[in-house]
Amino acid sequence: MTTSLIHSSHTASLLDGEIVEESELGSMRRVTADNLPILNGMSIKRVLLNPGAMRTPHWHANANELTYCVSGTALVSILDDGSTFSSFVVTAGQMFHANSGSLHHIENIGTDVAEFIIAFRSERPEDFGFGATMGAFSDAVLGNTYDLPASDLAKIRRSTVDHKLAARIGDPVIPASAYFNDPHKFDIEAQEPPLNYVSGNARFARDQYWSALKDLSMYSLRVTEDGMREPHWHPVTAELGYVQHGDARMTIMNPDGTLDTWTMKAGDMYFIPRAYPHHIENIGPDPWHFLIFFDQPTPADIGYRASASAYSREVLAAAFNTHIDDLPAFPFTPADPLVVSRVNPVDPR
């Protein structure tokens, strides 16, 4: 059995991730399977938009998108198939979902930097910028499309290079309907935590509460300085996490019996394949906050507390290769807690 204490193939810094675009307008950084090969079916991106900047209209060819707004105020627009158009405002703690292939944009309409953490349902998402795709067709073809002379289209600067970040000219145009509720949008931090413990709580963005979700979900998980996410695994769900705040330590067991144990700080991300056992422990002086994305609309897990209650002491003694008299008095647990309190000192790093 080996343990990695410094580096793990499961983790990377999103703050130092691959630069997609960076300028005075903002930045886009991502971690995909090109940077973290263990990623499978999921990837993550961090987008910063300065006031007056936007992520231009685009779509993803192979991935649904689930976005959490960390800060700022933004106008989001989504054009779905069937000519269904939505435009809505998101603020800190709110989320939105965009289907693969749906045209959408994000525009900072506030006075502060707008920050977004985005999970994609592909380890290598593919993008098409609407502006760039205009460069794929001739003036005549576009003129026919819009019932205009070809010469009118010749005035538009066109190329197949996608300008992902752009500055808005003038004031934002915000329709009154943008302040209404929208099925693409979900205010996760406004809900009462469905799971609330002394040592932490969890708010859920999953299809039970948000019907727009098809193959993604997210938990907003907070754990106090003396709390721990108990050891567990997700039977059919991969987990992609982002550290929004705090210091934590994670251990994952790989199928070959090796262990990865490492510490994480704000801005780090990690990936756990389906059914890999793992745990997360707060090792800092403050509560931590994780954004945890899953590749299923309703994630499920099996925890160690309930697992020890599922079998007789005779079976457990055989499984642990331990004399039955040496087994501890495991508490009977018919339903696993998400978070447990730490009653023992933190293990040395």
In the chain, the percentage of residues whose pLDDT exceeds 90 is 93
| 230 & 148 share domain | no
Q: pLDDT of 231-286, one tens digit each?
A: 999 999 999 999 999 999 999 999 999 999 999 999 999 999 999 999 999 999 99
pLDDT digits (tens, 9 = 90+) for 185-229: 999 999 999 999 999 999 999 999 999 999 999 999 999 999 999
Together in a domain, 180 and 200: no
CA distance 232 to 33: 25
Please indicate, yes or no, whether residues 30 and 93 belong to a single structural domain of this protein: yes
Q: What is the extent of the structural domain holding 118?
A: 10-186
Residue 300 in domain: yes
pLDDT at 5: 46
pLDDT confidence of residue 347? 84
Confidence of residue 4 (pLDDT cuts 50, 70, 90): very low
The residue from 157, 186, 215 where one domain ends is: 186
102 and 135 belong to one structural domain: yes
Residue-level pLDDT at 3: 44
186, 221, 242 - which closes a domain: 186
- The residue to which tokens 């019932």 are assigned: 147
Average pLDDT over the chain reads: 95
Per-residue pLDDT, 6: 53
Given a cut of 80, whether residue 154 has pLDDT beyond it is yes
* Domain identity same for 169 and 87: yes
Residue 157: pLDDT band by 50, 70, 90 thresholds?
confident
Let me know whether 255 and 174 are in one domain. no
* Domain tally, the chain: 2
Domain endpoint, select from 143, 168, 186: 186
* Per-residue confidence band for 97, with pLDDT thresholds at 50, 70 and 90: very high
If asked whether residues 213 and 301 sit together in one domain, one would say: yes
What pLDDT digit, counting tens, does each position of 308-340 carry?
A: 999 999 999 999 999 999 999 999 999 888 899
| Amino acid 124: pLDDT | 98
Is the confidence at residue 1, as pLDDT, over 90? no
Are 164 and 300 in a shared domain? Answer: no
What values do phi and psi take at 306, rounded to 5? -65, -35
Flag whether the pTM goes above 0.75: yes
The answer, yes or no, to whether residue 72 has pLDDT greater than 70, is yes
Residue 17 belongs to domain with CATH number: 2.60.120.10
Q: Is residue 4 part of a domain?
A: no
Q: What per-residue confidence (pLDDT) applies to 218?
A: 98
Are residue 175 and residue 204 in the same domain, yes or no? no
